[in-house]
Structure 1
Amino acid sequence: MSQNDCPLCRRDAAEDVIWHNDRVRIILVAHDLHPGYTRVIWADHVAEMTQLQASARNEIMNAVWLVEAMQRKVLRPHKVNLAEFGNMVPHVHWHVIPRWEADPLFPEAIWASAPGRAPQAIQAWHEEKSRIDALLPVYREALHGALAAIR
């Protein structure tokens, strides 16, 4: 995949960018089942972490860890999943996904098929998701401020 074909090289106008500099962009992913899902994207078209210089690896990982810390502090998930695949888009990027025991796929990966849930469990998730959705603006602001303070 060339830079011209790479969806992560081209900034989508619809992206919800929380923060960026010349090397890293952090976006809030619009995902109905996974509020707070955040992606940390390295700016250059590089497929593997080991292709980055050590300082670049440190920079992107520090951003990933800061995203996780802000998710834990503000959104208070039960667990945070970190993933770096690049199978579909060979461009270094990290998925930082807060998870709650009530979410429709927990404990499975977010890409798994949803297990069956009782109506009470579905209702509990809707209530939890409403609470989380109300915190997303606070999360965005806290994350933006934390990133701006260290750069």
Structure 2
Amino acid sequence: MICEGIGKLKYKMKYLDLSGNRLGDEEVKIISVVLNKVGELRLWDCGISATGLEVLCGEIKKLETPMESLDLSYNKFGDEGVKIISVILNKVGMLRLIGCEISEDGKQILREELKRLGLPKSTIDFDDFMISSRFKEFPGI
């Protein structure tokens, strides 16, 4: 219902924060249809698995204009989600993956993908595991 209203907006919303809502994979499909209307999407601890992540990233990949930021922190998709996420690194200015159970090998895969894509000097903070590829870091995220 919220997404239906967002889809009718003439202008892009600065951000949509659905953090802490147990959305799961099915609801991610609904959210995915309004990605072009949202600059920053916060889905912190929403119960998104690799299955939901695949749907979300598939839609982000189609965006004409990159999202400013995407926060997927504390969704436990682990290394299974790394390959899925790697296809959107050039479509998201800042990607937060705190507490997603990504191993050191998974982090290395993301580092290598950033390098392969030739993105501008990226900031990767592995204490928080934040990837910032093209845009300035946004305060308050």
TM-score class, shorter: 0.3 to 0.5
Which has the greater radius of gyration? 1
| TM-score normalised over the length of structure 2 | 0.34
| TM-score normalised over the length of structure 1 | 0.33
Q: RCO greater where, 1 or 2, for CA within 8 Å and sep 6 or more?
A: 1
